[in-house]
Amino acid sequence: MDRGWNEFSDIKLGSQDRYEAMVLLPKNWTLTKQSHKAGSKVKVGTITVLTCTKAS
């Protein structure tokens, strides 16, 4: 069954900052890397991890 894409369960935000363990307000963070190469195709339901650093 194809459940479709869901931004709340298929995308996880992770922090690379030493003192900021959780990404609470994404607009205050800058994306530094992602778990899949840009433009690559992934199966529905695959989790994508976006690694961020706190914007200064």
What is the predicted pLDDT for the residue at 42?
86
The answer to the question of residue 50 being in a domain is yes
What is the predicted pLDDT for the residue at 3?
62
What is the predicted pLDDT for the residue at 7?
62
The answer to the question of residue 44 being in a domain is yes
Domain count, the chain: 1
| H-only helix segments in 1-56 | none
What is the predicted pLDDT for the residue at 23?
87
What is the predicted pLDDT for the residue at 4?
64
Q: What is the pLDDT of residues 6-54, one digit of tens each?
A: 666 788 889 999 888 888 888 889 999 999 998 888 888 888 999 999 9
What is the predicted pLDDT for the residue at 6?
67
CA atoms lying within 13 Å on the CB side of residue 16: 12
The answer to the question of residue 46 being in a domain is yes
